[in-house]
Homo-oligomer: A and B are copies of this chain.
Amino acid sequence: MAKRVTGPEIEKLIQLLAKVPGLGPRSARRAALHLVKKKDQLLGPLASAMAEAHQKVRICSCCGNVDTIDPCTVCSDERRDHSVIIVVEDVSDLWALERAGAMNAAYHVLGGTLSPLDGIGPDDLNIRGLIERVGDGRVKEIIIAVNATVEGQTTAHYITGQLSGLGIKVTRLAHGVPVGGELEYLDEGTLTAALRSRTTI
């Protein structure tokens, strides 16, 4: 803003809101104004929720999930099948897979993918933690659910190598046509994979 039209506290709030993914400088202003108008219904509760999350949040020392307890809600859930571990790049992938609700397994968050160009090697990812978890003999299957990108596949290949000889089944997600997807708009790689992995009806 050219000239100051509001207090520095509100301008600081706008600046910080603009750093939240999904909000830009313009929508941060709109969000701040909405929050300020809903002072007691939204701004106050959100301030408290953020302060509480800031104070309590931790990274699960077992799987790398974000939670307020350690081990996290998933790792300490005894109704889950802890003999199957789904390996994901990021916490958001864990949450996405849980929303699908297809498996009742445990998870392991790598915290990224191998990327030599960015200087990210095996020691920068939570791979050692995975090998340790496998060491207790309880794990029967590792499902590698990394993104279908070059970095993701490189990482999947590296982890598969590390796990070989331990007598554990290592699987990966199927490639194919997304449910609801139109063939016309799919790339050649996906179509080829879908044809190769075709199933009998």
Contacts and interface: CB of A to CB of B under 8 A. Distances in A.
A116 interface: no
Interface stretch (A46-54, A132-140, A182-190): A46-54
Interface string A1-43: 1111111111011001101111100011111111111010011
Contacts of A57: 7, 9-10, 36, 39, 43
Copies of this chain, count: 2
Max chain B C-beta neighbours (<10 A), residue from A9, A34, A101: A9
Given A16-B46, A22-B30, A30-B21, A94 B5 contact: yes
* Count class of interface residues, chain A: 35 or more
A144 interface: no
A81 interface: no
A170 interface: no
Residue from A21, A54, A92 whose CB has the most chain B CB atoms within 10 Å? A54
A65 interface: yes
A101 B44 CA distance: 32
A61 interface: no
A192 to B, nearest CB: 30
Interface stretch (A68-76, A152-160, A161-169): A68-76
Nearest to A66: B36
Interface string A97-123: 011010000000000000000000000
Given A5-B95, A67-B6, A50 B43 contact: yes
15 contacts: A2-B98, A6-B95, A7-B67, A7-B68, A7-B73, A10-B68, A20-B34, A21-B30, A21-B34, A22-B27, A23-B31, A35-B50, A36-B53, A39-B54, A47-B50
**6 closest pairs, A vs B, by CB?**
A7-B68, A47-B50, A2-B101, A22-B27, A47-B51, A13-B49
